[in-house]
Amino acid sequence: MRTTLSPKSLAWAVALPPLVILCLFFVVPLGYLLFISFMSNSATSLYDLQPTLANYTDIFSDSFYWLIIQRTLLSTATVLVLCLLLGYPVAFYAAHLSPRGRLIMLMIMMVPLMVSNVVRAYGWVAILGRSGVLSSTLKGAGLIARPVQYLYSFEAVTLGLLTILLPFMVISLTNSLATIDKRYTEAAHSLGAGPWRTFLRVTLPLSSPGVASGLMLVTFLALSAYVSIALLGGPRYKLLVSMVFDSVSTFRWPRAAALSFVLLLIALIIAVVIQVVIRPQRVQGKG
Amino acid sequence: MGGFILRLIVGIVLALVIGPILVVIIASFSSAEALSFPPPGLSFRWFIEFFRIEEMRNAFVLSIVLAVAAACGSAIIGLLGAVYVSRHRNAFSTLLQVLIMAPLVFPALILGLALLLLYKTVNMGVLPGLFIAHIVVCLPYSFRSILTSLQSFDTTLEEAGQSLGAGPVRSFRLITLPIIWPGVLSGWLFAFVVSFGELNTALFLTGPGVVTLPIEIFSYLQFQGNQLVVAAASSLQVLVILFVLVAAERLVGAKQLVQR
């Protein structure tokens, strides 16, 4: 038996399953979450059907939440700056390798990305913890008298997030640097620009789309990396995403929902700042 | 001089990125009772212990089954989406692409929370709920892989098939699919790997008896402390990923895997 379908209905049949799945399980739940964030807390059910702004005003009028927000901004900014400072040289190095060498380098960066973040955070727990690699090595060398706990601090969280997210930055930058036409840098050289001047005036601006997309990806992932933050920051060093989790574990759903949208708002603001500062649209669409 | 500093930074970055994973693998083969460095000897005792603990074993099996199912689901849906997007240039096609790619950057924990609230409201079961969440999270990876291979596919081949009397579905199955197969396969493998390590969405969506390996590792670390059986569990996570990547490299080649 052969059924004949018109091209138009066939196109619909193809587009419909992904559209339905994403509407039902991405758009609708987020809309519902936004709705709940404007409802009152309830002791017995998910929420009380009484519209209120209290979930948001409570967050912004509480000095504790301001501290957490400041802390989140500080650690995200530190991660972004270090990601760029460490990731760019690696990408620059990779982009100037042979195609085969670059492929190997990208594979080395990809493998850690595939490993679950809980495993990678656990690696840092095993290094920085009281009986970890760092403490035992320093003790063995006689530099510290008794085991030291290096976890549960700004440094531990920042280091963990940095190393977990660096490969994203390197891959994004490498792909962007590798597509820059060699003739641009050759032209700069032949016109008398030294290597640094060529880099600052030609290579760096041309790689700005890769810089911007890498930084944005790192921002979004750093802000929501709850498990890494919980393992490395412990109960003492919490970020905004930890507050979302804590509200959920105390069943304050509207509060958790409102905190989620504050987090999204912060992510959006950082993304806009990145776009304004880096201005990737300068070169987008050109080779 | 400049070259030396560049190579030094590359070395530091590689050590920072790979070091923690190596430490976990080394620790998991330790013969000691607790974490200590360097390990006094090597043994498989913590792997044996891992399979003795029922929750760990169940989590491992569930993670594998879930990853296979979610990879199949997201490969099929990703293929459908990619076929539409690669052949239509209109506002709807752009919207569909943005929607499919959105979970890639969207904070996964928030998506998990939103899904949890929806599931609670409609009384969704834990396992189907987790399965759907994994499909949504894996979809960008399978979609992008398949879209890349569809975009480099020469559609005149399909037109030739159709002019010879094959319907659109038949010509797609007999001509297009065999040619873009490496893209579909690498999309499947990406989805498998992402689902197998998925953490932040699953955090809220697992339930009693339905726990994935990453969540089991996390709750062990939080509630039972730093035991070496966690290192063994983590090591197994890495080994499965490495196995899949080596298989992928053999099946579709490294180039297919890193192209974006």
Q: What is the pLDDT at residue B226?
A: 60
Mean pLDDT within A237-247: 92
Please check the confidence at residue A2 and state whether its pLDDT lies above 60: no
Give DSSP secondary structure letters for A124-191: HHHHHSTTSHHHHHHHHTTSSSS-----SSHHHHHHHHHHHHHHHHHHHHHHHHHTS-HHHHHHHHHT
Mean pLDDT within A203-224: 90
Shortest Cα–Cα distance, B46 to chain A (Å): 16
Which chain A residues are within 8 Å of B225, Cβ to Cβ? Answer: none
**Of residues B88, B108, B118, nearest to A28 (C-beta):** B118
Q: What is the pLDDT at residue B257?
A: 66
Which chain B residues are within 8 Å of A195, Cβ to Cβ? Answer: 2
> Cβ B168–A10 below 8 Å, yes or no?
yes
Tokens of B238: 């890495």
Nearest CA-CA partner of A204 in A172, A183, A173, A175: A173
Mean pLDDT within A1-22: 78
**Predicted structure pTM score:** 0.90
Q: Comparing B223 with A87, which gets the higher pLDDT?
A: A87
Residue with tokens 């609708």: A28
**Of residues A22, A220, A248, nearest to B204 (C-beta):** A248
> Cβ A86–B132 below 8 Å, yes or no?
no
Residue B192, φ and ψ in degrees, nearest 5 = -60, -50
Q: How confident is the model at residue A5 (pLDDT cuts 50, 70, 90)?
A: low
Q: How confident is the model at residue A243 (pLDDT cuts 50, 70, 90)?
A: very high
Which chain A residues are within 8 Å of B139, Cβ to Cβ? Answer: 18, 21-22
Which chain B residues are within 8 Å of A120, Cβ to Cβ? Answer: 20-21
Q: What is the pLDDT at residue A93?
A: 92
Please check the confidence at residue B88 and state whether its pLDDT lies above 80: yes
pLDDT one-digit tens code per residue, B209-257 = 899 999 999 988 888 766 788 888 889 889 998 898 888 888 877 666 6
Q: What is the pLDDT at residue A89?
A: 93
pLDDT one-digit tens code per residue, A138-194 = 888 888 877 878 889 899 999 999 999 999 999 999 988 888 877 887 888 788 777
Q: What is the pLDDT at residue B1?
A: 54
Please check the confidence at residue B169 and state whether its pLDDT lies above 70: yes
pLDDT one-digit tens code per residue, A25-57 = 999 999 999 999 999 988 788 888 888 898 899
Mean pLDDT within B81-92: 91
> Cβ A253–B108 below 8 Å, yes or no?
no
> Cβ A126–B20 below 8 Å, yes or no?
yes
